[in-house]
Amino acid sequence: MSTAAPEQPTAPGAAPAELPHSGREFLQRIRQGEMGSVRVIILLAVIWTIFQVQESRFLSAVNLTNLVLQITAVGLISVGVVLVLLLGEIDLSVGAVSGLCASIMAVLNVKHGWAPIPAVLAGIAAGAAIGLFQGFVSTRFGIPTFVVTLAGLLGWQGAQLKVLGETGTVNLTPGFITDLTGKFLSHGAGWIVGIVAVAAFAALAILGRQRRTAAGLTAPSPALLGVRIAAVAIATLVAIYVVNQDRGVPVAALILVGFVAGIDFITRRTRFGRHIFAVGGNAEAARRAGIHVSRVRITVFMIASSMAAIGGIMAASRLLAVNQSSGGSDLLLNAIAAPVIAGTSLFGGRGSVWHALLGALVIGSISNGMDLLALQSSVKFMVTGAVLLGAVVIDAAARQGRQAAGRL
């Protein structure tokens, strides 16, 4: 069975799984699409440097905290998009689904008096049902997901207008839903969460190395493992220090990182996750190996639509309202562009859920920086489009590099 192996987990600031022995090997691995997280971290550093030179407020604690809140919705939606891309498929409906499910949640809570938690769960359930429907139609009738989800892009927008009714805008009342993006941890609680997260990462990394060594598999050296843990610890603690200079660690950030880490665990550590990579690498080989390809596809689309619903709810929480434009504008573009920019392949079988977070940081930083510079929306769209095109070209070039290396 010809499949691509899942990438090693790469948290923001983490070191690559293996260090190259020379500069030439380093460049060769990047050209073939390896160490994609290193590439995007370098890109992010360049973007931050440029905007900081142009506008001194960019790296301020207030703006970086706002940046975290701004990327939450896109990051959560991109988590589901990554799984779809791993299959070699596309979902053009995630923006519309996020708007529709947020509208369902808001209408049930505000107009029909539902308690916040049941309303939120209803919105997420609606997203899962949409994913089930679209995945079933595509697999049962052999229709390309591009066509099915394009139809969904149009149809779910119409459903959103129907749900909102004549009022068009539903304002959320202060409470659980608005607190999802409006609450922050105290400084002490933020440090505790950060230290616990670093300790958990270190423990899992060490345990993973021990298991690989016991199984006779290649494993990172103790020195490299220490560098990786140190990098994650420094990045995490510096981030907490910065946001504590403002309002503290946003609860929204914990939600985003929690989903990223959870879905990453599923893709790398479970049988279902291995099946996703297998189907994305070679669907026919996966089918002959006994994998229920249709079930995997449908489940992935259910997860993607559920994540779109969660992202839409978080966006509504931040804006304190849902309206007819929710889920529109450039949300779909950004949600798909984020993981692609960070290294998830459009051809399937290669990528990491962490790419959703890293890519959202890149997209959000570009948008945030241009907003601070008061650039027009036309410039923002062109710059974002250029970055996406560049990422796709790099992905295609890396794929050609891997094929060329495989023929040697």
Q: How many CB atoms sit inside 10 A of residue 390's CB? A: 12
Amino acid, single-letter form, for residue 255: I
For the chain, helix (H) and strand (E) counts, in that order, are: 16, 2
Domain that holds residue 141: 36-183+250-400
Lowest mean pLDDT among 150-164, 205-219, 224-238, 375-389: 375-389
Q: What is the pLDDT of residues 53-85, one digit of tens each?
A: 999 999 999 999 999 999 999 999 999 999 999
Range 324-329, long-range pairs (CB < 8 A, 24+ positions): 324/160, 324/161, 324/164, 324/168, 324/169, 325/99, 326/98, 326/99, 326/102, 326/103, 326/160, 327/95, 327/96, 327/97, 327/98, 327/99, 327/100, 327/102, 327/157, 327/160, 328/95, 328/96, 328/99, 328/157
Distance CA 265, CA 261 (A): 6
Q: What is the pLDDT of residues 91-125, one digit of tens each?
A: 999 999 999 999 999 999 999 999 999 999 999 99
Instruction: With respect to residue 30, please indicate whether it lies within any of the assigned structural domains.
Output: no
Which of 404, 406, 401 lies closest to 34 in space, CA to CA? 401
Q: What is the rounded average pLDDT for all residues in the chain?
A: 87
**DSSP for 78-110?**
HHHHHHHHHTT---TTHHHHHHHHHHHHHIIII
Exposed, middle or buried: residue 46 (CB in 10 Å: 0-12, 13-18, 19+)? exposed
Mean pLDDT over residues 294-321, rounded? 96
Instruction: With respect to residue 270, please indicate whether it lies within any of the assigned structural domains.
Output: yes
Which of 306, 4, 287, 360 lies closest to 134 in space, CA to CA? 306
Instruction: With respect to residue 352, please indicate whether it lies within any of the assigned structural domains.
Output: yes
Mean pLDDT over residues 183-197, rounded? 96
The band of 212, judged by pLDDT with boundaries at 50, 70 and 90, is: confident
Tokens of 261: 């880490």
CATH code for position 370:
1.10.3470
Instruction: With respect to residue 85, please indicate whether it lies within any of the assigned structural domains.
Output: yes
The reported pLDDT for the residue numbered 28 is 53
The reported pLDDT for the residue numbered 379 is 84
Instruction: With respect to residue 60, please indicate whether it lies within any of the assigned structural domains.
Output: yes
Q: Is the pLDDT of residue 143 over 50?
A: yes
The reported pLDDT for the residue numbered 253 is 96
**DSSP for 239-306?**
HHHHHHTTT-SBHHHHHHHHHHHHHHHHHHHSHHHHHHHHHHH-HHHHHHTT--HHHHHHHHHHHHHH
Instruction: With respect to residue 208, please indicate whether it lies within any of the assigned structural domains.
Output: no
Instruction: With respect to residue 242, please indicate whether it lies within any of the assigned structural domains.
Output: no
**DSSP for 154-212?**
HHHHHHHHHHHGGG--EEPPSSHHHHHHH-B--HHHHHHHHHHHHHHHHHHHHHHHHHH
- Count the domains in the chain: 1
Instruction: With respect to residue 374, please indicate whether it lies within any of the assigned structural domains.
Output: yes
Whole-prediction pTM value?
0.88
393, 342 Cβ separation under 8 angstroms: no
Who contacts 191 (Cβ-Cβ below 8 Å, separation ≥6)?
A: 240, 244
Distance CA 360, CA 312 (A): 15
Q: What is the pLDDT of residues 327-374, one digit of tens each?
A: 988 899 899 989 988 888 887 878 899 999 999 999 999 999 999 998
Who contacts 382 (Cβ-Cβ below 8 Å, separation ≥6)?
A: none
Distance CA 342, CA 345 (A): 9
Which of 73, 48, 40, 49 lies closest to 368 in space, CA to CA? 48
364, 74 Cβ separation under 8 angstroms: yes
105, 313 Cβ separation under 8 angstroms: yes
Residue 390's alpha-carbon distances to 85, 386, 393, in angstroms, are: 18, 6, 5
